Structure 1
Amino acid sequence: MLSIKAGKISSATLLRKLSNYSKKNRLYKAFRELGRVVRTVFLLEYISDLELRQQITATTNKAEAYNGFSKWLFFGGESVIADNDPEEQEKAIKYNDLVANAIIFQNVADLTTVLRELTKEGYGFESEAVAALSPYMTSHIKRFGDYIIDMDNTPEPPEPELILLEPPSEMMV
């Protein structure tokens, strides 16, 4: 039983009690049951709320798209890190994320440039159409190609805004 002296309990004692997975520990049982209640409430909300399901699915799809993109970029070994050294594993993952983020940034910059050019030519785009574009494109990338980095070539600063058409009023909710 958890004893409290003078209204205070040490954090070490509480952590020790919480980390004990014994089926005899009443505090462990209480938190396990509380977890089950929270999970059940969430599942009931998930089942009954279409918007919540759509939001979770969309978010999951974005995460999976990034993971697939990142995996595609992983050079050699089909995303298998052959080194058992945790520091080397962390480096491989961070370097791959760095390359992925650089390519995503360039893809977004290229998409924005094209959308701006089309807008100047008189084409309009609805926000929903632009939101459906993905920065995880790979068809234009030479994954194992030769790359020349010109440090003297300074890119143009990005323009802060992209003007989009407002959706028709009947589409607004």
Structure 2
Amino acid sequence: MGGSSSSRNSTSTKNTSSQNAISGDNLGVALSGIEGSTINATVTDHGSVGKSFDFAGDALDESYEFAKGAMSESLNLVDQNTENSMKFASGALDKFSSSNSENLQMIAGLAGNQAAQNTKNLDKLTELAKFKQDNGQSALNKQQLILMAIIVLVLGFVLFKAVNQ
């Protein structure tokens, strides 16, 4: 009986250590854990972020130019409206001033005419009052005095002519 026995035992261990380091803006894709892999993929925005900044800058520039033009036109419109309003007001004041001046001159003329007429009326009333007071004797005496003066003048003229001949 005797037998023989043999045994064999083999253990193998393979340790793989991988290191994955990403540098930069961390926008790429890195594959790790694949033995013998050389895949390196990069993701890009194809310049869209840069173009969007350019677009935003252009939009700001255009909006600034638009606002500047709108403000300038608005100020010009305000200036024109102010100037036209001043011209209108000046013309209206000139028109009303000349109209008022003419009215005042007319009223002054009417007042002067009325004062003269009032003086004449008062003189007539005074004569009428005197006539009424002495039953016309003052007027009759005045007329007689004027008639006597005329007679004296005529007689003086006739006498002068008679003496000179």
TM range (shorter): under 0.3
Higher helix share: 2
Q: If the length of structure 1 is used for normalisation, what is the TM-score?
A: 0.22
TM-score (norm 2): 0.23
Question: RCO greater where, 1 or 2, for CA within 8 Å and sep 6 or more?
Answer: 1
